[in-house]
A = this chain, B = another copy of it.
């Protein structure tokens, strides 16, 4: 069961002018399940993306980067079941063949198509199956296809992740709708994580390029489930310009700021949704590190806590085992950390309790308070390193029997 993650409601997912989505059963993942999605963009749409840092980046990621560089993207094709990663030269050829097939179906050039794959690594993509599924996906294209698409891009996800926002720019309503998938192999610099966020705002390409990076850093690059970085992670920001709202060309403008805030807000929602649906997750944890010398140091400490299997299993057990949190902060690599100045709090949104100070347990701390908070489904660990003014937040989930079960059984 995901942690406080609402199911999408079909009529609350708002169409984005200039975007049509269609899905099909292509039998790439398994029979009787939609595993192929097509997204068609109106001419003039602008697209920007950020991708995995893994040296074994998947073939579709390589092709995506190449096609994005030439601009003019008109379609996206997404398959589940096979990641097309660690597949060498044939993998690249298969990713290109997928783009060519989509281009032929929609009357485009192959370089106008972005390919995405997610699933098992090292297996070759059955392009014939993908091609055979395209007519059905094309036939299903519709502007209110987000509900079907957010289902069709899932792998080990237990539920779809999709949401919409609206803002008003120049008197015109601008819509943002996004969907994400991913439940494991999630950590900084993306993950087996796909995120697609489309808006009908009209945004200049340089602003869109900067915005996709900023939004990714504050959202998808601030989550972790298991510390593994996938080969296929991609976050794509689409601006069709079809809303009729005035073009945004100035990063200092109020319009840009308004759009930026909405994009970041939705991206954080989509990223947190992945953690809430983390493999085997029973708790949603926010690790907030303050008082660091710089943001990198705060992130380093936050990730040490968020990745510790001992911390994660203690949260699963609702056990306020503060020692494991302190130990993780202690080995995070801040070699001159003054543990006597460090303070740590546990909170659940209703109350916050000081648990550690002066190099040990806080004098005022009583275990009942910690135990009460640890029973909550949403828990914040906040630490003040007392070294400076920087801060960073990382979101993660606990580590349960089901994490092992899901990942030991994944291919069987």
Contact = CB atoms under 8 A, between A and B. Distances in A.
A408 B327 contact: no
Interface string A31-48: 000000000000000000
Given A54-B331, A55-B334, A310-B185, A404 B399 contact: yes
Given A86-B322, A330-B55, A360 B91 contact: yes
A122 B230 contact: no
Contact of A55 (B56, B90, B226, B335): B335
Interface string A371-412: 000000000000000000000000000011101110111111
A339 interface: yes
Interface stretch (A165-173, A285-293, A311-319): A311-319
A88 to B, nearest CB: 4
A160 interface: no
A358 interface: yes
Interface in A315-350: 316-317, 319, 321-324, 326-331, 334-335, 337, 339-340
Main secondary structure, interface of A, reads: loop
Contacts of A237: none
A231 interface: yes
B313 A87 contact: no
Contact of A360 (B53, B54, B88): B88
A113 interface: no
Given A310-B407, A408-B316, A412-B319, A122 B228 contact: no
A122 B360 contact: yes
Contacts of A399: 309, 404
Given A122-B323, A313-B408, A360-B91, A56 B308 contact: no
A189 B121 CA distance: 33
A331 B51 CA distance: 13
Contacts of A185: 310, 327
A405 to B, nearest CB: 7
A21 interface: no
Interface residues on chain A, size class: 35 or more
A322 B408 contact: no
A8 interface: no
Given A56-B339, A121-B327, A359-B88, A407 B226 contact: no
A390 to B, nearest CB: 18
A314 B340 CA distance: 41
Interface of A: 53-57, 83, 85-91, 120-122, 184-185, 189, 226-231, 307-310, 313-314, 316-317, 319, 321-324, 326-331, 334-335, 337, 339-340, 356, 358-361, 399-401, 403-405, 407-412
Closest 10 CB pairs of A and B: A121-B323, A56-B330, A317-B408, A88-B360, A313-B407, A229-B331, A55-B330, A54-B330, A88-B359, A122-B323
26 contacts: A54-B330, A55-B330, A55-B337, A55-B339, A56-B339, A85-B323, A86-B322, A86-B323, A86-B360, A86-B361, A88-B358, A88-B360, A226-B309, A231-B326, A231-B327, A309-B403, A309-B407, A310-B407, A313-B407, A314-B408, A316-B408, A317-B407, A319-B412, A400-B404, A401-B401, A401-B404
Given A86-B356, A309-B403, A310-B407, 5 more contacts: A86-B326, A122-B360, A227-B309, A228-B324, A316-B404
